Amino acid sequence: MAKNFIITGFADEISSDIDVQFAHLNRLGIRWFEPRGIDGKNIADLTIDEAKELKRKMDVAGVRASSIGSPIGKISITDPFEPHLAKLCHVLELAKILETSFVRVFSFYIPQGDNRATWRNEVMARMKKMAEVAEAEGITLLHENEGGIYGDEAKDCRDILDTVNAAALGCVFDPGNFAYYGHEAYPEAFALLKDKITYFHIKDAKRGGEIVPAGEGDGCIKEVLSQVAERETPYFLSLEPHLGNFAGLDKLQKSGKLSKLPDGGPDTFGLALDSLKSILKEIDARWE
């Protein structure tokens, strides 16, 4: 029977230790992960040799990479671009070693108080160049909606995707990020982006800033997934629950609002998985 979805996730929310990550993924029956924090290092900072060793461990554990959870594009639009582009090129090499064709990216922080329209041309120029570099390597970049970057609202995500207009630039849909920053994930954001969605991050939140298990917030995850369950090619659903604090969380979000979360780990990741499975059962979806 065909599957509608493939469950994957940011296993660094289990532990910073990659061996612990893989052991727990195996216990949960998850065969994919989205590498981000690897033994205390960000995925983008791994050397080529370290990436090869990671791939060896992946093969032993029977775990594959769904996408690289990179930080590319998560710098200020006023920061120099060329060093960051070089970092992207390195990440693309890591993606090939880890045998994934997807790399998660962002669209640059806009200085607080600035009119984002002032920076639109620079954002588009950078995103176009990034897509060109990725396309040459056979990799698809997945733009994620994130608070504070140019593409934090659905209309701006759509603007990027339409303006760049490249097969090598797709869309990560994160319902929880939309809700967390006060936007309407469904039907508004979903309606704007549904034909561009390539991949999902599964996070949920109350509008205005409380992270909760999938299905308990304003991300309307059940409604969103019910609309895409019949696609012939299954979507990846990547657990990024943020239900507990974990090593590296302070570097992922600028506001500091999540710093007071209780410690995360296997239990909170397991809760996130159970919550997602409950939704999938409700919509009569199949997954692996």
DSSP structural state of residue 66 = S
- Pairwise CA distance, residues 88 & 155, whole Å: 25
pLDDT at 164 over 70: yes
Q: Of 15, 57, 59, which Cα lies nearest the Cα of 37?
A: 15
Element (H, E) at 78: none
- Pairwise CA distance, residues 147 & 107, whole Å: 10
pLDDT at 261 over 60: no
pLDDT at residue 3 in the model = 82
Show the tokens assigned to 1: 């029977």
- Pairwise CA distance, residues 275 & 192, whole Å: 26
pLDDT at 249 over 90: no
CB 47 within 8 A of CB 12: no
pLDDT of 52-88, one tens digit each? 999 999 999 999 999 999 999 999 999 999 999 999 9
Question: Which residues have CB under 8 Å from 205's CB, separation 6+?
Answer: 176, 177, 179, 180, 211, 212, 217, 218, 219
The residue count of the chain comes to 288
Q: What is the mean pLDDT of residues 34-44?
A: 98
pLDDT at residue 5 in the model = 98
Dihedral of CA atoms 205, 209, 210, 216 in degrees, nearest 10, equals: -30
Query: Bridge partners of 64?
Result: 32
Q: What is the mean pLDDT of residues 168-176?
A: 98
- Pairwise CA distance, residues 148 & 146, whole Å: 6
CB 224 within 8 A of CB 185: yes
Residue 264: which pLDDT band, with cuts at 50, 70 and 90? low
Q: Which domains does the chain have, with CATH numbers?
A: 5-282 (3.20.20.150)
Q: Of 152, 132, 139, 134, which Cα lies nearest the Cα of 102?
A: 139
Pick 107 or 260 by higher pLDDT: 107
pLDDT of 271-287, one tens digit each? 999 999 999 999 999 99
pLDDT at residue 1 in the model = 52
Show the tokens assigned to 56: 């060896």
pLDDT of 129-143, one tens digit each? 999 999 999 999 999
Residue 255: which pLDDT band, with cuts at 50, 70 and 90? low
pLDDT at residue 243 in the model = 87
Q: What is the mean pLDDT of residues 154-170?
A: 98
pLDDT at residue 242 in the model = 85
Residue 260: which pLDDT band, with cuts at 50, 70 and 90? very low
Residue 61 sits at φ, ψ, to 5 deg, of -80, -10
pLDDT at residue 259 in the model = 47
Which ranges in the chain belong to alpha helices (H)? 18-28, 48-61, 82-97, 120-136, 154-164, 175-180, 190-193, 221-228, 249-252, 266-282
Query: Bridge partners of 140?
Result: 102
- Pairwise CA distance, residues 230 & 27, whole Å: 28
Residue 208: which pLDDT band, with cuts at 50, 70 and 90? confident
User: Exposure string (b/e) for 115-142, b if CB count within 10 Å is 16 or more?
Assistant: ebeebbeebbebbbebbebbeeeebbbb
Q: 160: burial class by Cβ within 10 Å (0-12, 13-18, 19+)? A: buried
pLDDT at residue 122 in the model = 98
What is the percent of the chain with per-residue pLDDT over 70, rounded to a whole number?
Answer: 92
Q: What is the mean pLDDT of residues 197-215?
A: 94
> What's the chain's average pLDDT?
93
